[in-house]
Chains A and B, each alone.
Chain A
Amino acid sequence: MKRTWFGIFTASLIALSAAIPAVSQRPFSATYDNSRQIKLQGTVTRIDWVNPSAFLFVDVRDTAGIISNWAVEFGSPLELERDGWKRSSLHIGDLVTIEGIPARGPTRQASAKSVVLTRSGKKLFTPPASRRPVSASAPAPRWPDGQIRLGVPSGKKGYWGTANSKVLVETKAAKIPMTEDGLLINIADADKVAPFLPWAKAVYERRQRTLLRDDPLARCIPPGGPRQFQMPNGFQFVEQKELGRILVLLGGGDRNWRVIYTDGRPLGQAAEAVPSYYGTSVGRWEKDTLVVESVGFNEKFWLTSGGLPHTEALHLIERFTRTDLNTLKYEVTVDDPRTYTRQWTGGWTIQWVPDQDLQEYFCEDNAESTFIR
């Protein structure tokens, strides 16, 4: 009898654990209500120092004297460490005052804008907006044959980190007001984002109206297509010239990788490829720019935050130009005649993170901290 119920319990846990990652990394706009502010004061009960977002848990006493436990998201450990935070900067038992943005609905969760040690008044948390960009300090490194080097030289550390945009918008479009995670301030601007076919525009607008709640990234689906270069954990190139290929190690996709063949092989046809998140890619150098063409994508991901759709007919032309030691210009041409009326191009720049390695990142690590509360 006991064994039977233990079996039911175990099977339920296994099945539920399969469901949990599905709700672990929602877009900011779908999770938090930017129109509200919250101030919390309480005692730290737990600190989860994990990628992609660090969380602290605080016992807060309300005016009726009832204590409830709040989950407070306070950013990527990578960025926090860059700003001088350490895992040991805060301790269980510390009394903290937090100002931030509350979650939508009744969930006791907030995104911190500031965290202050109540007793000493020491401010622990610095919002990302106040960080200074890395300045260009030297020309882009080159291989002995003169070709630009995209990866890290022997004996050194570094990787490509934060992109200056989390959305993809047609380059020739005027600046379109939207949140950092791609939620349009005015839905009527949808036409300016990309040259959608009617069905694609309707899908995009629906995703916008539902506050991006169906974002595949929220279900820990890998960030395929251009979005792989917008993840906070960055990426790295490993150039294997002798083998005629470049490996892209993706820090934001559960230790995923991608191979760009530079040995002159043809691209092939989308219909012949097994559809995947990163497609099949071939690359060539045009002066100092690596031009990469890819086909063979599946339809399970969004091109970027904000909900840009695509089909299996997607053909991407990416251009990587290291303009100086610290800057990579990324430009992508989206060619998907089943989704867009014509080819269109957008892009962003990405900063080099010196003297560090890509950190481990597993999307599921945030599952327990956040949305099963």
Chain B
Amino acid sequence: MQKRAFFLLLTACLMTSVSVLAQEGHPLTGTWSGDWGSGPTQRNHVTLVMNWDGKNITGTLFNPAPDSTPLGSVVLDVTNWTVRIETDGKDQAGKPVHISAEGKLDDIGSAHRKITGTWTQGSTKGDFRLTRD
């Protein structure tokens, strides 16, 4: 019990110190990880890597397909900090599927900024949460 309390306390304190480190460049550049799903028990891990090249936001989707997929398009609307991602990938079974995600970028001043919103993969709709590593 005490050991558990110790680790909980230590983890909470360390998270406090880590969360203030920031990356100050383009808000989407970096590695993002999280999950998407149609409900709390139906979650699928997602890893995205995005980069701003001066004209476009390019990137790669590492999940849910077995192989990585280049992102078709990523659009950041800086008037309301919304992000729209479109790509054609493959599902877990390897079948072609269109993926569309639209979310809101929050906590922009932090390195561990977040995107949350809706995720559509083929005919399945759900929500997603991504946190910048």
Shortest distance from the beta carbon of B46 to any chain A beta carbon, whole Å: 23
Question: Which of A5, A206, A312 meets B108, CB within 8 Å?
Answer: A206
Query: In the complex, A304→B34 CA distance in Å?
Result: 33
Say yes or no: A301 contacts B24, CB within 8 Å: yes
Say yes or no: A309 contacts B13, CB within 8 Å: no
CB within 8 Å of A: which of B9-53? Answer: 9-10, 13-14, 16-17, 20-27, 29, 52-53
Say yes or no: A4 contacts B2, CB within 8 Å: yes
Shortest distance from the beta carbon of B106 to any chain A beta carbon, whole Å: 12
A273 within 8 A of B: no
A202 within 8 A of B: yes
B78 within 8 A of A: yes
Q: Mark A320-341, 1 if CB is under 8 A from B, else 0.
A: 0000000000000000011100
Say yes or no: B14 contacts A18, CB within 8 Å: yes
Question: Which of B14, B54, B110 meets A15, CB within 8 Å?
Answer: B14
Chain B at the A interface: SS class:
loop
Question: Which of A202, A302, A310, A337 meets B78, CB within 8 Å?
Answer: A202
- Interface residues of A, Cβ cutoff 8 Å to B: 4-5, 7-8, 11-12, 15-16, 18-19, 22-23, 197-199, 201-203, 206-207, 210, 213-214, 216, 219, 299-302, 309-313, 337-339
- Interface residues of B, Cβ cutoff 8 Å to A: 2-3, 5-6, 9-10, 13-14, 16-17, 20-27, 29, 52-54, 76, 78-79, 81, 108-110
Give 10 CB contacts A-B under 8 Å. Answer: A4-B3, A8-B6, A11-B6, A11-B9, A16-B16, A19-B16, A202-B81, A214-B22, A302-B24, A311-B26
The 4 closest A-B CB pairs, nearest first, are A15-B13, A299-B25, A214-B109, A202-B78
